[in-house]
Amino acid sequence: MNRMHFTVAKSFGRLQLIPEPHGLRLYYTPIVNGELTPDAVGSCDVLVPIQAVGGLWATARAFLYGVESLDENVIIRDSEGDVLVKLYRDKPKGAGGSLSGEEISWLRIVSGRSEEERRRIKLGPRDLLCIELACNAVLSLSTSPLFEGQESTNGAVALAASTGDEGAAPRLNS
């Protein structure tokens, strides 16, 4: 891998979190008979669009620091079928439904009906930190026109160019 990425490694597979200017790429490779097998059933390459990265970042951060947060569900519509990316935590185990700190966080990637296409990854603090940092990197890359010579994706460049007034502050057209 020749670009920045974060890895969540488990005994059954490896998830690479690859920040891109337009979203967060989730590249999952299952481990079969002790070896990474990129072409095995269950491998997936999913791009979480930038519109969903902020919510994923906030939820990972909340889970990492043990504060109240709803689950994060991202449904990606694809010509080959829908993909669900879900970041969630066990039900609160504390008194009166409060967080006790014992709740486990999970990342679920569902791309089909078979068991291999329903990946469920138990997340520890390091894994949540990887998700948080990867999302933060996406948000940083998305505002940088320097990344691979691409135009900024946050709309600022296009907005400034569309005003027609050189040197004037950008304004929104209503």
> Cα separation of 132 and 138, whole Å?
10
DSSP structure class, residue 169: P
- d(C-alpha 9, C-alpha 11), whole Å: 7
Task: For residue 162, give every residue at least 6 positions away whose Cβ sits within 8 Å of its Cβ, in sequence order, or none.
Answer: 173
pLDDT at 145: 77
DSSP-derived letter for residue 97 is G
Q: Tell me how far apart the alpha carbons of residues 123 and 65 are, in angstroms, rounded to a whole number.
A: 13
Which domains are seen in the chain, by residue range? 6-142 (2.30.31.40), 148-174 (no CATH)
What pLDDT, in 10s, does the model give residues 52-92?
A: 999 999 999 999 999 989 999 999 987 778 999 999 999 98
The pTM of this model reads: 0.79
